[in-house]
Amino acid sequence: MKNTVSQQIEITKASESKIGQVDFENLNFGKIFTDHMFVCDYVDGEWKAPKIIPYGPMTLDPSARVFHYGQAVFEGMKAYKDDNGDTFLFRPDENFKRINKSAERLAIPEFPEEYFFDGLNTLLKLDEEWIKSGYGNSLYIRPFVIATQASVSASEADEYRFMIICSPAQSYYSGDVSVLVAEKFSRSANGGFGYAKAAGNYAGQFYPTKLAKEQGYQQVIWTDSNSHEYVEEAGTMNLFFRVNDTLLTAPVSDRILDGVTRKSLIAIAEKEGISVDVRPIKVSEIVEAANNGSLKEIFGAGTAAVVSPVKAFGYKGEHYEIEKQENSYASHFKKALMDIQYNKAEDTFGWRYKV
């Protein structure tokens, strides 16, 4: 990973910054974008010279394949500013590897590492003012690739666009969530592309999640597509279950996204001597643990909210409440991870990347 600003990116600066119009105290997640964006096109079998241009709408042919076949992958990562005004990314190499893993599964050409890191560093330096210091403030970064080739022919495209856009984010707490365990719908299947951050994986979740919301649940806990007996992950989070003092989480597979937060929490837990069991988890054992009082916590782990406690779950028409813990693992892990991200704790794992 390099962290120099590239000489090879052509930069067109925005004539005027929009930052003065932004109320940083009342940000709506993912609605406001910084002044610039990174763009790199794949044409004639190669990624052309990358550019940074003012953020704004762009023109694509209506037949561009992304609109018809959903050939698109993306990433989600954050930049954090410490109290000295230094900017950090958290394990960006993981996001870089994952976007190319996703791309490979969607038959999208691999994006060069140098362009990715040059693009990130240059863009973040240009839009540095948009990253506010203060615990919980961050800049959400969305790299993505779309098939731009004009043609409604159902095969992989010859032309693509790789972009990075950035949106300021605040620490948010939307309350502990209630989740519904999926009994019929599946998010992904064996041999499919659940492990990829592919646009279509999310589109397919909206309808079952809408039905769950009508029943008073905010998210769906996906189960394996064969038997619906094993818990997998939630909408944009991997899941942890605390049974007594042991943490359980499902192993990643071709159905489950290999989350950066998940693997970081496992590493922190192991270092702290908290027992972590990575194994297939039956819904029935979670129900049993809820009934006999050994289920202490459920929480989701993901870049957006870091750790999201679950206060209740629904399964087969029953509703199970989880009693709030005084010293929860969820709040402990959230703090441990954020302290590393905001340069407040020693980075013993080497996860921080200074921009």
Ligand X SMILES: Cc1ncc(COP(=O)(O)O)c(C=O)c1O
The residues of the shown chain that bind ligand X, judged by CB under 6 A, are 76, 197, 233, 236-238, 257, 259-262, 301-303
Look-up of token digits 């019929």: 184
Q: Between residues 32 and 265, which has the closer beta carbon with respect to ligand X?
A: 265
Residue 350 makes CB contacts below 8 A (sequence gap 6+) with none
Cα distance between residue 304 and residue 296, in whole Å: 23
Least distance between ligand X and beta carbon 11 (Å): 29
Least distance between ligand X and beta carbon 80 (Å): 14
Least distance between ligand X and beta carbon 22 (Å): 24
Cα distance between residue 322 and residue 302, in whole Å: 21
Residue 148 makes CB contacts below 8 A (sequence gap 6+) with 41, 60, 61, 64, 65, 66, 157, 159, 160, 161
Amino acid at 264: S
Q: Between residues 260 and 338, which has the closer beta carbon with respect to ligand X?
A: 260
Least distance between ligand X and beta carbon 234 (Å): 7
Cα distance between residue 52 and residue 66, in whole Å: 22
CB 168 within 8 A of CB 124: no
Q: Between residues 76 and 119, which has the closer beta carbon with respect to ligand X?
A: 76
Least distance between ligand X and beta carbon 194 (Å): 8
Q: Between residues 50 and 70, which has the closer beta carbon with respect to ligand X?
A: 70
Q: What is the DSSP string of 181-240?
A: E-SS--S--TTSSTTS-BHHHHHHHHHHHHHHHHTT-SEEE-B-TTTS-EE-B-SS-EEE
Torsional sign, CA 343, 261, 5, 140: negative
Q: Between residues 99 and 237, which has the closer beta carbon with respect to ligand X?
A: 237
Phi, psi torsion values for 220, nearest 5 degrees: -105, 135
Select the residue whose beta carbon is closest to ligand X and give its number: 259
Least distance between ligand X and beta carbon 275 (Å): 21
Q: Between residues 36 and 262, which has the closer beta carbon with respect to ligand X?
A: 262
